Structure 1
């Protein structure tokens, strides 16, 4: 799955919602804090982590590629 940036970056919680992998910001916060989300292969615990073009998010067997 791919997300095309409208701005310079997208926050991790927003990316999970935009990709349809979580229903709400609260759910995004929960799965991120539980260590279930990887950014570029490493566990990321900050919902507000800024993602830029080229970043790869992995959650629940799904991958989200961030693109320009």
Structure 2
């Protein structure tokens, strides 16, 4: 996003607990890697987003992480 600062885009970053250390606090810390105001960060405790996307995209869940 740094390369296109004027691009009219919106990025939704979904943080989900895939690995044992994946916590809401880790997601908050990780959001520092994409501080752009066009990015919105969300914590998905129940993996709703990844489950929905793997179903809709017919993508194996174990490869989505």
Q: What TM-score do you get using the length of structure 2 for normalisation?
A: 0.31
Bigger CA radius of gyration: 2
Which structure shows the bigger proportion of residues in strand conformation? 1
Whose helix proportion is higher, 1 or 2? 2
